[in-house]
Amino acid sequence: MLLNRSITVQFTLVFVIALMLVVGSFYLVLESVYRSELKSQAETVADNVDAFGNWVSQYGRVWVKDDNKSYLGQVTLVNPADGAVPPDLWHFYSKNPALAQREFSEVVEKSTSPAKFRMTSHNFMNPVNKPDAFETKALDKIRSGRLTEYYEVLPDGFRYARTLYEKASCLACHASAASAPNDVKERYGVEHGYGFKEGEVAGIISVRLPIRPFWQVTSSVLGPLQIALLASAFLVATLFIQFAVVRPLRKLTVAAERISTGQAADLGATRIHRKSGNEVRQLVSAVERLRASMTMAIQRVGRRPPPPPT
């Protein structure tokens, strides 16, 4: 049984169990901190995307030069004086906030940035923006629970969704197919992306962050120095148990055995302060008093005269 083992063995086992509990607590704390940090990073990405969209929406549309891959509307600048087409003819193409944000997300997707994002909706206009499984779940949770955000830790990374609300500036294209600009209807059709009202959920900013294995996160926090300090703590605690508890008890055991056989034994009680708070020293003092009492009792028995004959 464990109780029959030495105090050192028992202490080592208890220390290991306590260490396992500390490690488990450390894991839970570290996981919580790591998730909080991931969420903070995702919120920062969503804030930047939202700010970029607000910048575009305050102008209604932005115009870019010589980009005919994705646009809504076109303007060609010519010299009205002579009607001639100059050799440096400029073509400008307009992009609304949603289109600008989508192209921005495509640039980020191809970049080395670990954080990726995109815009999506339950009523998407562009098929490219169709929500994936997480985004569909996030949209359902947000709409049913009236949430402002939703996030999960998935095998492919940390997923975060920020709720987007329909703004008055967005209704020009998304209120109804009848009132939408012709270039929008020509590009995306008239079936999806319409029927929104100001203030209702329009979609989400979907952010994706990579996650690191737990051992990588732990190694960034717990290094050789921390492990050395932990080992030193165990060594100090073990030495304390040896010198403050185990050795005095062993010495006391040997002395008690000598006393039981009538031999002299020095318990060292004279060196112990009478009001000592150390439990082991209190035990030594108690054994010393017991030894003195037993010696006196034996001496009294030895001096007692024999009983008269009957």
What are 118-163's pLDDT values in tens digits?
Answer: 999 999 888 888 999 999 999 999 999 999 999 999 988 999 999 9
d(CA 269, CA 253): 14
What distance in Å separates the CA atoms of residue 271 and residue 183, rounded to the nearest whole number? Answer: 100
pLDDT > 60? residue 87: no
* In the chain, where the domains are located: 2-61+96-218, 225-287
Q: What is the pTM of this model?
A: 0.66
Residue type for position 246:
V
Q: pLDDT of 103-114, one tens digit each?
A: 889 889 899 999
Residue-wise burial string across 235-253, b where 16 or more C-beta atoms lie within 10 A, e elsewhere: eeeeeebeeebbebeebbe
Residue 310's pLDDT is 63
CATH 3.30.1760 correct for 2-61+96-218: no
Q: Which helix (H) or strand (E) holds 62?
A: strand 62-65
pLDDT tens across 4-42, in order? 677 777 888 888 888 888 888 888 888 888 889 999 999
User: Is the pLDDT confidence value at 199 over 60?
Assistant: yes
- DSSP bridge pairs for 151: 160
Burial degree of 128 (CB within 10 A; 0-12, 13-18, 19+): exposed
Identify the three-state secondary structure at position 206.
strand
